[in-house]
Amino acid sequence: MLTRRILIALTAAAFIAGAPAFAQDKSIVVSSTTSTQDSGLFGHLLPLFKKKTGIDVKVVSQGTGQALDTGRRGDADVVFVHARGQEEKFVADGFGVKRYPVMYNDFVLIGPKSDPAGVKGTKDIVAALKTIKSKNAAFISRGDKSGTHSAELNLWKVAGIDIAADKGPWYKEIGQGMGAALNTASASNAYVLADRGTWLSFKNRGELDIVVEGDNRLFNQYGVILVNPAKHANVKKSEGQAFIDWIVSPEGQKAIADYKINGQQLFFPNATAQGV
Amino acid sequence: MRAPSSDLPLMLEDVSILAREVTILDKITLKIAAGEPTILVGPNGSGKTTLLRAAMGLIAPTRGRVTWGGREEVPPARRSIVFQRPAMLMRSATGNLTYALAAARVPRAERKARADELLDLVGLAGRGDRPARRMSGGEQQRLALARALAKDPDILLLDEPTASLDPAAIKALEDIIRNVAARGIKVVMSTHNLGEARRLAGEIVLLHRGRIVETGDAQSFFTQPKTEDARRFVAGELLV
Amino acid sequence: MPTDTSALDLILRADPALVGIVRLSLLVSLSAVVLAALIGIPLGALIALTRFPGRNGAIVLLNALMGLPPVVVGLLVYLMLSRSGPLGSWGILFTPQAMIIAQSILVMPIVAALARQTIEDLWEEYRDELAALNVGPVRRIFTLIYDARFSLLTALLAGFGRAAAEVGAVIIVGGNIDGFTRTMTTAIALETSKGDLPLAIGLGMVLISLVIVVNALAWGARRASERYAG
């Protein structure tokens, strides 16, 4: 009977589909942010790490808040995010063992080439934001409680603007990831704060370009934390720690520095720096 | 493989069937014994189909009882029915037959050969691979008849098998029915074609408004009807 | 997957990453359909052939569940399979198995509801015939399922279409892990968010072509077998 044969074949297929999970025992799950994933950094680092240790790293990329929550629930072995305050709370609450600084990249202010607010050329991000506000130039905000969103809100605060109260129709919160925010800005010729990595690998730029960069207040620090095996016994402690040890080692740090798009370095290793 | 007992005689004892307060069969008492075909005649709505279904055991009588070989509640292992519009299974002609043979517990190894015999019997030899549902009305009736014979029944109930067939197809089917009867299978068939009743009957049962008006052997029924209704029916008048 | 090449190039060169993604998509969705069929067809048959209190409610519920939002199913399966959830000890969150489970939950109501309707209609037609052939209750169920096979195949295809097209459930429970749980739809979502719209559309074309090919194969199989068994 034809149908029976098809059924058997499909059931076999179901098992084959499931097989990789059993085959790749030496693997860890890293919950990370969309920026590290979308920029292609992991695509560069993980083969190097695998070659050295044989450990497969599976990256689940989410917003920083969700990535930490995935760790908190015990669904990841390592978290690799960029929101220092939240990371320190994660460790203080006992969900993480220890936070290691890894690297930083920087945010850039993206805007239309026509620059309707006239902020191009300045290095002062705070002044630029003030100008955008005063001219009611279109601005796209992530609005998703991500690391980038936190950084943007912080910059408004530094600029002395209570954005929650002062926002008008010019200011749009889209509640989505970095790529979606850039797509929206590209479609509506608006300003948007983005991490440089995502911007460099972003293809649908339309009339967008970098308008402000290089301000110290635009630096974005990444940290890596092993999820606490005392909270979740399933955490692969030795493999997870091996990943952390490698990424903060001179070899891992060099690999980060070597990652470039169009000759531009995206991430700057600083595992040995203090207080970041 | 075959049970030693028989489903004959088939007895309807004071059987009444009501559907939503409407009397379909009214105090029917009828004995169906081995022998020549029994033909049920009567106008539409006289209760022929319901009587056949009760005889098959598909409808329980509201009152009275039906017995097969003196027993009640007998599964239909030794009696078969061909409905007026038989439902063909979604398989080939042979597939329909091997299915019925399997249901009749015929060993798998014998089914194909038996199916071929049955196809041959109903004049469908060589057409076993055709999808049953794509056959003509006459072919479907013959295939249904072959399928009904798969369980090697004592009694074969046929509900107006020739209705809506053309004369050639009717002739083919009547020949098969005679052939079946000649093998010692009791045929009980309904029709409202009097010529057909005349051609096939050993015994005639005339139904009207759910009652038996008259029963008797075909010869005397057609030549010397005992009741006024039977006389009018034989004469071709309308019973209303 | 290299992003500096067009989707057409990737297809023409049979890019291994793309092939892996297509293979995973097919395996996950087909496996989900098989699982859904193993549960949904007997369930549909059961509801079609039995009478019990609340049956009408069950039918309405089943029909309504055909429209389950994938993202809700994904979230529920995520909470079940999470280490902190009741089935956390299975350790299958962010694996293809989790994706199969989520998709089979999405597909099962479609298969069950359509199977219920088909088998009930067929049962109306076959009831007297099967009783007359002295067919017992077990053989009856297999007969109805077998004879409804062409309609059931259509139901399975509808289910496969839903599974292959959805992104909300697999991205939550699979995590869109490169080379492991990345499917056509999650890859499309990712490329869209990277702003690589041409590649995303190219992948979308591949997905649509796949669905068409699967349907064409099933349609051909149906035509061929109907010719012999119709």
List own/partner pairs for C211-218 with CB under 8 A and 24 or more apart: C211/C160, C211/C161, C211/C164, C211/C165, C214/C157, C214/C160, C214/C164, C215/C157, C215/C161, C218/C153, C218/C156, C218/C157
Judged by DSSP in three states, C135 sits in coil
Q: Which residues of C touch A232 (CB under 8 A)?
A: 83
CA gap C176, A61 in Å, rounded: 8
Q: Residue A214 has which token pair?
A: 């290089």
CA distances from C214 to A189, C30, C207 (A): 42, 10, 11
Residue B237 per-residue DSSP state: P
Secondary structure tally for chain C: helices H, strands E: 10, 0
Tokens of B208: 């009207």
Q: Which two tokens stand for residue C198?
A: 């041409």
Beta carbons of B83 and C149 less than 8 Å apart = no
Q: Work out the minimum CA distance from B119 to partner chain C, whole angstroms.
A: 17
B227, B230, B232, B238: CA torsion to nearest 10: 130
Please work out, in degrees rounded to the nearest 5, the angle formed at the alpha carbon of residue A61 by the alpha carbons of A58 and A63.
150
Instruction: Work out the average pLDDT over B96-110.
Output: 95
Q: What percent of chain C has pLDDT above 70?
A: 94
- Judged by a CB distance cut-off of 8 A, whether residue B3 touches chain C is no
pLDDT value of position A119: 94
Q: Are residues C229 and B95, on separate chains, in Cβ contact within 8 Å?
A: yes
> Among all residues of chain B, which has the CA nearest to that of C135?
B103
Count contacts between A and C (CB, < 8 Å): 113
Beta strands in A151-229 (DSSP E): 171-173, 191-195, 208-212, 219-227
pLDDT attached to residue A91: 96
Q: Where in chain A is the domain with CATH 3.40.190.10?
A: 26-105+221-269, 106-218
Sign of the dihedral defined by the CA atoms of residues A18, A19, A25, A26, in that order: negative
Q: Which residues of C touch A75 (CB under 8 A)?
A: 82-84, 93-94
The SS3 of residue A129 is helix
Whether C114 contacts C151, CB under 8 Å:
yes
Angle made by CA atoms B104, B107, B109, in degrees to the nearest 5 = 135
The pLDDT, as a whole number, for residue A67 is: 92
Chains that touch A (3 or more CB pairs under 8 A): C
Residue B18, H or E segment: strand B10-19
**Which amino acid is residue B6, in one-letter code?**
S
Least confidently predicted of A187-196, B32-41, C7-16: C7-16
Q: How far apart are CA B104 and CA C135, in angstroms?
A: 8
What is the residue type of B10? L
Which DSSP letter does residue B132 get?
G
pLDDT tens for each residue of chain A, 276 residues long: 445 555 555 555 555 555 544 444 689 999 998 878 878 899 999 999 999 999 999 999 988 888 999 999 999 999 999 888 899 999 999 999 999 999 999 999 999 999 999 999 899 999 999 999 999 999 999 988 788 898 999 999 999 999 988 888 999 999 888 889 999 999 999 999 999 988 988 888 999 999 999 998 999 899 999 999 999 999 999 999 999 999 999 999 999 999 998 888 889 999 988 777
Query: What mean pLDDT do residues B23-32 have?
Result: 93
CB C134 within 8 Å of CB B104: yes
Specify the DSSP class assigned to residue C6. -
Break chain C into its structural domains and give their ranges.
Answer: 25-186
Please state, in angstroms and as integers, the Cα–Cα distance from residue A85 to each residue in A30, A153, A156, A164, following that order: 20, 14, 18, 21
The DSSP bridge pattern shows strands B203-208 and B186-190 to be unpaired
* Helix H or strand E segment including B212: strand B211-217
C138-159: average pLDDT: 91
Amino acid occupying residue C70: P
d(CA C70, CA C102): 8
C91 by DSSP, 3-state: which? Answer: coil
- Which has the higher per-residue pLDDT, C12 or C207? C207
User: What burial letters (b/e) apply to A62-76, b meaning 16+ CB within 10 Å?
Assistant: bbbbbbbbbbbbbbb
Instruction: Give the CATH superfamily of C25-186.
Output: MetI-like (1.10.3720.10)
If you measure CA to CA, which chain A residue comes closest to C149? A3
CATH architecture of B10-87+154-234: 3-Layer(aba) Sandwich (3.40)
ipTM over 0.90: no
Tell me which CATH code domain A106-218 carries.
Answer: 3.40.190.10
What distance in Å separates the CA atoms of residue B127 and residue B105, rounded to the nearest whole number?
A: 24
CA separation for the pair B17, B25 (Å, rounded):
5
Element (H, E) at B190: strand B186-190
Of B76, B91, B92, the CB nearest to C134: B76
pLDDT value of position B178 = 94
Identify whether the C-beta of residue A231 lies closer than 8 Å to the C-beta of residue A67: no
Question: DSSP secondary-structure letter at B236?
Answer: T
pLDDT of residue B3: 47
Under DSSP, the state recorded for B79 is: E
Report which of B132, B94, A2 is spatially closest to residue C220, judged by C-alpha positions: A2
Contact A255, A93 (CB under 8 A): no
Q: Which residue has the higher pLDDT, C229 or C17?
A: C17
CA distance B17 to C92: 62
- Name the region of A101 (left: φ>0; alpha: ψ -120 to 50; beta: rest): beta
Instruction: Enumerate the residues of chain C whose CB falls inside 8 A of the CB of residue B98.
Output: none
B89 to C126: CB separation less than 8 angstroms, yes or no: yes
Name residue A55's amino acid: I
* A20 contacts: CB under 8 Å, gap ≥ 6: C95, C96, C180
Residue A1: per-residue pLDDT: 45
Cβ atoms within 10 Å of A140's Cβ, excluding its own: 25
Domain at A26-105+221-269: CATH code:
3.40.190.10
Say if CB B17 and CB B53 are below 8 A apart: no
Chains A and C touch (3+ CB pairs under 8 A): yes
Cβ <8 Å between C147 and B86: no
**What single-letter amino acid sits at C183?**
T
B90–C147 C-beta distance less than 8 A: yes
* Mean pLDDT of the residues in chain B: 91
Q: C36 pLDDT exceeds 90?
A: yes
Residue A9's pLDDT is 58
Q: Tell how strand A96-112 and strand A208-212 pair up.
A: antiparallel
What stretch of H or E contains A15?
helix A2-23
Strand order in B22-32's β-sheet? B22-32, B10-19, B63-68
Contact by Cβ (8 Å): A132, A227: no
Buried b (16+ CB within 10 A) or exposed e, B200-221: bbebbbbbbbbbbbbbbebeeb
CA B119 to chain CA centroid, Å, is: 19
Could you tell me which residue, B93 or A147, shows the higher pLDDT? B93
